[in-house]
């Protein structure tokens, strides 16, 4: 770990003032950043602790939910409105990490999680464009079981590890951001980036910008929603594939649908092609399979992850059928 | 065990199991016609009664001090820097920034490290336990990706870690072999284990296989595995009066002290190594580079050192289990009897160690067959020296053999339990010597009944609940009984008025499995004292003798040494008792310990208490030290533990996810000394077997020989949700040819489990997986 200065911000204004300094980083629950500090992947000069800020969940005037960035994962998953109106979000959170980690982890920090690519973590022995832009990517040609099949670039094949963010991507969430003298909102689908030439940039946040809240719109389709995660052990592993989905049927036809995949890309992958193909269609296994085939038509498979499109498709079929019949345990 | 082919090693190997069966000359209680340990006949004592770990309270309250919790005055903290190439030289080391960093005491590299000898490699002498024979920080050569190239000492661990991250080391890489294909292309050689070739030929197995009416012939693969004891390796080290004091985490205390002494040219009495508590070992808690580097740095800095490996450090410098590729072919008659068993294949090791994975060991003793062809070949590549990992050989060998047997059962249309019983050998299938105690048939019958095996539908892929396909499978496991020479016990009886206490000292290691508790149980029973009056000393190189917690042999080794010391104690006490004692005239053979004293075996009324004997002799204490007898029993009998493993799995038809929903182990391991700790050890081994079946795999990047998942986040072990309630039962039939009638139980638990899971997966899905781990992509 590289020595740093530590400050605890009393309010958002103080936080963004402190965070405006060069080399500053915001600290939430620390469940990922502290690991990155220990591994010297992250070497900030100054940590601004914002974990005590913005810990409230409130209903908005238009029937949505405003979730403070400092809300702990556990609290969000247990919130009655989340459980009732956005069950996909509660289930996604509970599918991740462990109870102890969820007790610490914050909503804002969850959005800022970095990839679990082992070459990214290997500061001494491996090249990584995300860690050191321009150095090269040793993941290509290496162990790529957890790596991307969609939207990757020559420079980077990493995936985003969050479960919660896959649900937020499906729910049309909006991220509230603040910096010194300015606030703005970012649609969730625009918040995380594809790697392109700059895999070192995970998100569109500018230096010094602080996430203050995540807003969920009122979304009737979300009442019937769920999250399914497929991984290499029963708990405490990152997703090989995950599916966040919401479904509203009108008779035998799909009235409204939201689908996002985790474990397939550098960002939570909103499956717009699946949604487009299925909206208004009859929900058959064949239709779902065809829709997924559209989504994965451009998949770029690596040495160890060729099973992902098929696994994602099969999981999607099972999830949508379960939502249709109301059998999401 | 890493070994070198020299004469000493052959001699040692003879004593350690892979030996010829000789007719002995020396009289011994373990030879044919010898008397079984009298403790076997004692049915109502402490042995067999569940006893909680005597150190349990210390551990759960945090009062037990582990290696990294000792403290010396003016202690410094160490951090290591590891090489990033597989082979070559250190070109340059820029240490200016590290040396200038806050709190730094020393940056040690090959340029300034004290001159030291290489570690004495395993097998080169009876107590040599070095993992490799390479120089440690003595030159610029790199032999594996991860080799320590520098050590930083600082006032705090954080300062040391930070300074280590500032060191800039550059390398000149040289051609290396980091692919299995490349290693094989360089040539394979006959693998040797304890000086003996891993090769057996009985009859013409290939010819009989070719002619057999029913056969299977398949290739099975197992990956590298890393050691992950909950306590990462650590040592707290000081030089005191020209000698070394090391608080270490060790499963081979005396051997480790002697071996590190050899590195620094120290006499045995100048190294004091203690290791009272160890947070798991499984074969890994021995001598590695970090203790040598820590001691060297302490010498150079003139200050004590605590060196604690990070989890990554364990992966970079502590070897694990190497990979295997095994062919198993079995030819059978239509009635199911085996004509031929062929078990051959290869594993990899390094140019600087000699530890092939001996995967044919279990096949040597498991089934009768008309012919055998068993052979392990080995190729060498540039990597960290691999080592023992729980049941080396049997853990992965039983996977291949027992899946093949299941495949054959399907071909034959015979129930897999019955096929195994059909080929039960009457004597050792290779050597023809008798078994000392083999009740595997009982274990199979009892296990099958408890599991509810009867009536199992043999068809694959026909049971389904919702998305889940359900199947059951079984496999046999095996692990040899060993007893290594070198164990000694010191028994000291002390009297305080009428009260007597016994101190029993053995140079044994306690890795958490309950050895100190079991030793107290056995010693109390043998001495005829309540367990509260017995204190066990262990984990200290100052105690005479050398005992290794390895090969599942420690309990037998301790047991034999305590028998020897107890016999000597009885003789001494009879002398002290003299002619005024009711025992007068009796010889040591005619006397036993009971109820706090000695008594005639034939006339219990002739007795005298320890306190009375010592009091009349005006003695406050009596102390004896004695070695255990030579392990001659190994020469007369084929000695093994056995298990029958049953499991039920559920495979998700959508995602391929695999869950083990039931797991049962039925064991035949001689007499069980402490059912509480034994059950725990069986379960622990079986959980490790689940890890092997489902998820464990070291990601060794063949491009540069670097391990890419050196953390518990990415190297998957079973979590609680992966582990069902595990049922264990045992025959509890004493082996008349071992101390206490017991067999070791440390390693048997892992054997057979992976095969049982793979066989159940076939039953659930119809898919035969021959490559571990069984990940979901193999089941889609």
Segment A112-141 shows an average pLDDT of: 98
Min Cα distance B173 → chain A (Å) is 13
Q: Which of A186, A214, A163 is nearest to A58 (CA)?
A: A214
Q: Note the pLDDT tens digit of each residue in A193-232.
A: 999 999 999 999 999 999 999 999 999 999 999 999 999 9
Q: Please tell me whether residue B152 adopts helix, strand or coil conformation.
A: strand
Task: Round the CA-based radius of gyration of chain A to a whole number and report it.
Answer: 19
Q: CA B759, CA B460: separation in Å to the nearest integer?
A: 10
Segment B414-420 shows an average pLDDT of: 98
Give the containing element (helix H, strand E) for B216.
Answer: strand B214-222
For residue B686, what pLDDT is reported? Answer: 98
At residue B720, what are phi and psi to the nearest 5 degrees?
Answer: -50, -40
Within chain B, all domains assigned CATH 3.90.1170.50 are found at 70-175+230-280+285-317
For residue B774, what pLDDT is reported? Answer: 98
Cβ within 8 Å of residue B558, ≥6 positions away = B487, B489, B506, B508, B515, B519, B522, B547
Segment B587-613 shows an average pLDDT of: 94
* Pair of tokens at residue B583: 């025992």
Q: CA B90, CA B235: separation in Å to the nearest integer?
A: 27
For residue B1, what pLDDT is reported? Answer: 37
Domains with residue ranges and CATH for chain A: 5-51 (3.30.43.10), 224-325 (3.30.390.50)
Residue B346, number of CB atoms within 10 A of its CB: 23
The closest CB to that of A232, out of B161, B695, B711, belongs to: B695
Q: Which of A49-53, B14-18, B403-407, B575-579 has the lowest mean pLDDT?
A: B14-18
Q: CA B393, CA B362: separation in Å to the nearest integer?
A: 7
pLDDT tier at B19, thresholds 50, 70, 90: very low
Interface test with A, best of B468, B690, B777 (most A CBs within 10 A): B777
Within chain B, all domains assigned CATH 3.30.365.10 are found at 196-225+321-482+635-778, 483-630
The closest CB to that of B82, out of A1, A124, A141, belongs to: A124
Share of chain B above pLDDT 70, in %: 96
In chain A, residues with a C-beta closer than 8 Å to the C-beta of B659 are 234
Residue B462, number of CB atoms within 10 A of its CB: 13
The closest CB to that of A314, out of B655, B694, B708, belongs to: B655
Residue with structure tokens 């409105």?
A: A81
At residue B435, what are phi and psi to the nearest 5 degrees?
Answer: -80, 145
Q: CA B198, CA B364: separation in Å to the nearest integer?
A: 10
B478 pairs with which residues across the strands?
B642
B193 pairs with which residues across the strands?
B196
pLDDT tier at A181, thresholds 50, 70, 90: confident
* Pair of tokens at residue B564: 């020897």
Residue B233, pLDDT above cutoff 70: yes
CB B629 within 8 A of CB B562: no
One of 3.30.365.10, 3.40.50.300, 3.20.20.140, 3.40.50.10470 is the CATH number of B196-225+321-482+635-778, namely 3.30.365.10
Cis amide bond preceding B773, omega within 30: yes
Residue A300, number of CB atoms within 10 A of its CB: 12
Say what the alpha-carbon torsion angle B516, B519, B524, B526 is, to the nearest 10 degrees.
Answer: -170
In chain B, residues with a C-beta closer than 8 Å to the C-beta of A126 are 706, 708
Q: CA B504, CA B625: separation in Å to the nearest integer?
A: 10
Q: Note the pLDDT tens digit of each residue in B254-271.
A: 999 999 999 999 998 999
In chain B, residues with a C-beta closer than 8 Å to the C-beta of A314 are 654-655, 780
Min Cα distance A216 → chain B (Å) is 30
Mean pLDDT (chain A) is: 97
Q: Please tell me whether residue A73 adopts helix, strand or coil conformation.
A: helix
Residue A155, pLDDT above cutoff 90: yes
For residue B31, what pLDDT is reported? Answer: 65
Residue with structure tokens 């102390």?
A: B623
In chain A, residues with a C-beta closer than 8 Å to the C-beta of B714 are 116, 118
Evaluate if pTM is beyond 0.80. yes
The region, left, alpha or beta by phi > 0 then psi within -120 to 50, assigned to residue B30 is: alpha
Interface test with B, best of A45, A115, A122 (most B CBs within 10 A): A122
Segment A302-327 shows an average pLDDT of: 97
* Pair of tokens at residue B575: 């002398």
CB A174 within 8 A of CB A280: no
In chain A, residues with a C-beta closer than 8 Å to the C-beta of B101 are none
Residue with structure tokens 């096929």?
A: B419
CB B754 within 8 A of CB B399: yes
For residue B17, what pLDDT is reported? Answer: 43
Q: CA A59, CA B611: separation in Å to the nearest integer?
A: 81
Q: Note the pLDDT tens digit of each residue in A169-178.
A: 999 999 999 9
Q: CA B234, CA B249: separation in Å to the nearest integer?
A: 6
Q: Which of B34-48, B273-287, B563-577, B581-595 has the lowest mean pLDDT?
A: B34-48
In chain A, residues with a C-beta closer than 8 Å to the C-beta of B655 are 230, 241, 311, 314-315, 318
Mean pLDDT (chain B) is: 95
In chain A, residues with a C-beta closer than 8 Å to the C-beta of B102 are 3
Q: Which of B691, B697, B698, B695 is nearest to B663 (CA)?
A: B691
In chain B, residues with a C-beta closer than 8 Å to the C-beta of A240 are 776
Strand ranges, E, within B560-631: 591-594, 597-600, 607-609, 621-627
Strand ranges, E, within chain A: 5-8, 24-27, 46-49, 57-59, 65-68, 174-179, 182-187, 210-216, 225-230, 241-250, 253-262, 269-270
Q: Do the Cβ atoms of B706 and A126 come within 8 Å?
A: yes
Cβ within 8 Å of residue A14, ≥6 positions away = none
In chain B, residues with a C-beta closer than 8 Å to the C-beta of A121 are 711
Q: CA B338, CA B107: separation in Å to the nearest integer?
A: 62
Residue B11, pLDDT above cutoff 70: no
pLDDT tier at B123, thresholds 50, 70, 90: confident
The closest CB to that of A233, out of B102, B704, B718, belongs to: B718
Sequence-distant contacts of B515-519: CB under 8 A, at least 24 apart: B515/B549, B515/B554, B515/B555, B515/B558, B516/B53, B516/B54, B516/B55, B517/B51, B517/B52, B517/B53, B517/B54, B517/B55, B517/B674, B517/B677, B518/B555, B518/B673, B518/B674, B518/B677, B519/B555, B519/B558, B519/B562
Q: Which residue has the higher pLDDT, B21 or B510?
A: B510
Cβ within 8 Å of residue B174, ≥6 positions away = B87, B88, B89
Q: Note the pLDDT tens digit of each residue in B558-570.
A: 999 999 999 999 9
Q: Do the Cβ atoms of A2 and B165 come within 8 Å?
A: yes
CATH topology assigned to domain B70-175+230-280+285-317: Aldehyde Oxidoreductase; domain 3 (3.90.1170)
Q: CA B188, CA B199: separation in Å to the nearest integer?
A: 14
Interface test with A, best of B85, B157, B159, B165 (most A CBs within 10 A): B165
Nearest C-alpha in A relative to B85: A125
Q: Do the Cβ atoms of A3 and B780 come within 8 Å?
A: no
Min Cα distance A316 → chain B (Å) is 10
Q: CA B385, CA B318: separation in Å to the nearest integer?
A: 8
Q: Do the Cβ atoms of A311 and B714 come within 8 Å?
A: no
Q: CA B417, CA A279: separation in Å to the nearest integer?
A: 54
Residue B438, pLDDT above cutoff 70: yes
Strand ranges, E, within B277-416: 305-308, 324-332, 338-349, 371-380
Q: Do the Cβ atoms of B713 and A116 come within 8 Å?
A: yes
For residue B482, what pLDDT is reported? Answer: 96
For residue B30, what pLDDT is reported? Answer: 62
Q: Do the Cβ atoms of B655 and A142 come within 8 Å?
A: no
Q: Which of B426, B409, B550 is nearest to B479 (CA)?
A: B550
For residue B25, what pLDDT is reported? Answer: 33
Q: CA B483, CA B481: separation in Å to the nearest integer?
A: 7
Residue with structure tokens 């039939």?
A: B733
Interface test with A, best of B146, B655, B698 (most A CBs within 10 A): B655
> What amino acid positions of B are annotated as catalytic residues?
747
Give, in degrees to the nearest 5, the angle at Cα B585 between B580 and B587.
Answer: 125
Min Cα distance B451 → chain A (Å) is 24
Q: Say which CATH architecture domain B483-630 belongs to.
A: 2-Layer Sandwich (3.30)
pLDDT tier at B26, thresholds 50, 70, 90: very low
Q: Which of A122-136, B27-41, B303-317, B740-754 has the lowest mean pLDDT?
A: B27-41
Min Cα distance B651 → chain A (Å) is 12
Segment B624-653 shows an average pLDDT of: 96
Range B73-94 burial, b when 16+ CB lie within 10 A, else e: eebbbbbbbbbbbbbbebeebe
Q: CA B355, CA B388: separation in Å to the nearest integer?
A: 8
At residue B592, what are phi and psi to the nearest 5 degrees?
Answer: -130, 170
For residue B22, what pLDDT is reported? Answer: 40
CB B342 within 8 A of CB B206: yes
Residue B743, pLDDT above cutoff 60: yes
Residue B23, pLDDT above cutoff 70: no
Q: Do the Cβ atoms of A125 and B84 come within 8 Å?
A: yes
* Pair of tokens at residue A243: 């599916």
At residue B302, what are phi and psi to the nearest 5 degrees?
Answer: 70, 25
The closest CB to that of A237, out of B165, B716, B780, belongs to: B716
Alpha-carbon separation of residue B79 from A120, A125, B226, B302, B521 (angstroms)? 22, 17, 21, 17, 41
Share of chain A above pLDDT 90, in %: 98
Min Cα distance B162 → chain A (Å) is 5
Q: Note the pLDDT tens digit of each residue in B336-360.
A: 999 999 999 999 999 999 999 999 9
Q: Do the Cβ atoms of B657 and A230 come within 8 Å?
A: yes
The B-side interface with A (CB below 8 A) comprises 81-82, 84, 102, 145, 158, 161-162, 165, 467, 654-657, 659, 694-695, 699, 701, 703-704, 706, 708-709, 711, 713-714, 716, 718-722, 775-777, 780
């Amino acid at each position: 770990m590289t020595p740093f200065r530590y400050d605890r911000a009393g309010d958002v204004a103080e936080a963004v003032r402190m965070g405006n300094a060069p080399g500053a980083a915001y600290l939430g629950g620390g469940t990922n950043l502290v690991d990155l500090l220990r591994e010297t992947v992250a070497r900030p000069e100054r940590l601004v602790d914002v974990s005590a800020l913005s810990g409230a969940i409130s209903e908005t005037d238009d029937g949505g939910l405003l979730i403070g960035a400092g809300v702990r994962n556990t609290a969000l998953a247990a919130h009655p409105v989340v459980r009732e109106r956005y069950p996909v979000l509660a289930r996604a959170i509970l599918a991740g990490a462990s109870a102890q980690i969820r007790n610490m982890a914050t909503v804002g920090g969850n959005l800022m999680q970095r990839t679990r690519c082992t070459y990214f973590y290997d500061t001494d022995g491996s090249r990584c464009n995300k860690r050191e832009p321009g150095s090269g990517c040793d993941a290509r040609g290496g162990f790529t079981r957890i790596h991307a099949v969609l939207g990757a670039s020559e420079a980077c094949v990493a995936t985003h590890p969050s479960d919660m963010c896959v649900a937020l991507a499906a729910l049309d969430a909006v991220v509230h951001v603040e910096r010194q003298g300015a606030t703005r909102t970012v649609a969730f689908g625009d918040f995380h980036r594809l790697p392109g030439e700059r895999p070192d940039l995970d998100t569109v946040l500018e230096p010094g910008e602080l996430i203050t809240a995540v807003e969920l719109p009122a979304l009737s389709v979300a009442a019937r929603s769920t999250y399914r995660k497929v991984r290499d052990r029963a708990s405490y592993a990152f997703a090989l594939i995950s599916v966040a989905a919401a479904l509203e049927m009108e008779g035998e036809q799909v009235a409204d649908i939201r689908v996002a995949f985790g474990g397939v890309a550098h960002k939570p992958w909103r499956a717009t092609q699946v949604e487009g193909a299925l909206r208004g269609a009859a929900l058959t296994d064949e239709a779902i399979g065809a829709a997924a085939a559209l989504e994965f038509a451009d998949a770029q498979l690596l040495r160890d992850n060729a099973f992902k499109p098929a696994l994602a498709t099969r999981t999607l079929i099972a999830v949508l059928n379960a939502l249709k019949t109301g059998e999401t345990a | 065990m890493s070994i070198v082919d020299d004469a000493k090693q052959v001699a040692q190997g003879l004593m350690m199991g892979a030996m010829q069966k000789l007719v002995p000359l020396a009289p011994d209680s373990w030879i044919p016609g010898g008397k079984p340990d009298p403790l076997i006949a004692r049915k109502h004592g402490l042995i067999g009664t569940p006893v909680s770990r005597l150190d349990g309270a210390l551990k759960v309250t945090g009062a037990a001090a582990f290696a990294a919790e000792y403290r010396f005055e003016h202690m410094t903290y160490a951090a290591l820097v590891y090489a990033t190439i597989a082979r070559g030289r250190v070109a340059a080391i820029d240490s200016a920034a590290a040396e200038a960093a806050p709190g730094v005491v020393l940056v040690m590299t090959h340029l300034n490290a004290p001159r030291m000898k290489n570690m004495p490699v395993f097998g080169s002498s009876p107590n040599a336990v070095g993992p490799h024979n390479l120089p440690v920080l003595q030159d610029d050569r790199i032999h594996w990706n991860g080799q320590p190239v520098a050590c930083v000492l600082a006032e705090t661990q954080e300062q040391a870690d930070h300074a280590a991250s500032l060191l800039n080391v550059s390398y000149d890489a040289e051609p290396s072999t980091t692919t299995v294909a490349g290693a094989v292309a360089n040539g394979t050689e006959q693998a040797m284990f304890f000086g003996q070739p891993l090769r057996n030929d009985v009859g013409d197995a290939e010819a009989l296989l070719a002619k057999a009416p029913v056969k299977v012939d398949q290739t099975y693969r197992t990956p590298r595995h890393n050691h992950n004891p909950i306590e990462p390796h650590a040592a707290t080290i000081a030089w005191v009066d020209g000698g070394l004091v090391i608080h270490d985490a060790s499963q081979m205390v005396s051997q480790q002290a002697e071996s590190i002494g050899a590195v620094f040219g120290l006499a045995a009495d100048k190294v004091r190594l203690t290791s009272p508590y160890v947070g798991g070992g499984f074969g890994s808690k021995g001598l590695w580079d970090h203790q040598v580097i820590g001691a060297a740095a302490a010498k150079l800095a003139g200050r004590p050192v605590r060196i604690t490996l990070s989890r990554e450090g364990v992966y970079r410098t502590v070897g694990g289990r190497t990979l295997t590729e095994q062919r198993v072919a079995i030819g059978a008659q239509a009635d199911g009897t085996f004509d031929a068993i062929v078990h051959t294949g290869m594993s990899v090791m390094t140019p600087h160690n000699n530890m092939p994975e001996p995967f044919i060991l279990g096949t040597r003793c498991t089934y009768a067959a008309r012919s055998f062809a068993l052979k392990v070949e080995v190729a060498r590549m540039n990597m960290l020296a691999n080592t023992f990992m729980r049941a080396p050989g049997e853990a992965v060998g039983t996977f291949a053999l027992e899946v093949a047997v299941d495949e054959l059962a399907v071909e034959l249309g015979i129930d897999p339990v019955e096929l195994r019983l059909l080929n039960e050998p009457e004597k050792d299938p290779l050597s023809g010597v008798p078994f000392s105690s083999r009740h595997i048939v009982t274990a199979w019958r009892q296990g099958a009944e408890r599991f509810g095996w009867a009536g199992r539908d043999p068809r694959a892929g026909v049971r389904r609940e919702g998305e889940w396909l359900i199947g059951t499978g079984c496999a046999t496991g095996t692990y040899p009984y060993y007893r290594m020479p070198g164990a000694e016990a010191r028994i000291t009886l002390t009297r305080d008025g009428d009260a007597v206490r016994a101190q029993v000292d053995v140079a044994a290691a306690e890795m958490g499995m309950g050895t100190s508790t079991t030793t107290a149980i056995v010693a109390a029973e043998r001495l005829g004292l309540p367990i509260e009056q017995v204190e066990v000393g262990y984990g200290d190189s100052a105690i005479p003798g050398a005992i290794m917690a390895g090969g599942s042999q420690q309990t037998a080794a301790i047991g034999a040494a305590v028998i020897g010391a107890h016999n000597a104690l009885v003789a001494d006490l009879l002398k002290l008792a003299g002619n005024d004692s009711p025992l007068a005239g009796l010889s040591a053979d005619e006397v036993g310990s009971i109820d706090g004293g000695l008594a005639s075996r034939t006339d219990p009324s002739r007795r005298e208490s320890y306190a009375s004997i010592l009091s009349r002799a005006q003695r406050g204490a009596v102390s004896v030290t004695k070695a255990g007898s030579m392990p001659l029993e190994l020469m007369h009998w084929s000695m093994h533990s056995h298990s029958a493993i049953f499991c039920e799995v559920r495979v998700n038809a959508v995602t391929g996810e695999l869950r083990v929903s039931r797991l049962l182990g039925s064991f035949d391991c001689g007499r069980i000394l402490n059912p509480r700790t034994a059950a725990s050890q069986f379960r622990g081994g079986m959980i490790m077997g689940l890890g092997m079946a489902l998820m464990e795999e070291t990601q060794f990047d063949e491009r540069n020989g670097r391990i890419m998942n050196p953390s518990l986040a990415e190297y998957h072990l079973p979590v609680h949700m992966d582990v069902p309630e595990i049922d264990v039962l045992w025959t509890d039939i004493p082996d008349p040819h071992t101390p206490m009638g017991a067999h070791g139980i440390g390693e048997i638990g892992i054997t057979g489990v992976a095969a049982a899971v793979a066989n159940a997966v076939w039953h659930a899905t119809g898919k035969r997986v021959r490559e571990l781990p069984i990940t979901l992509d193999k089941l889609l």
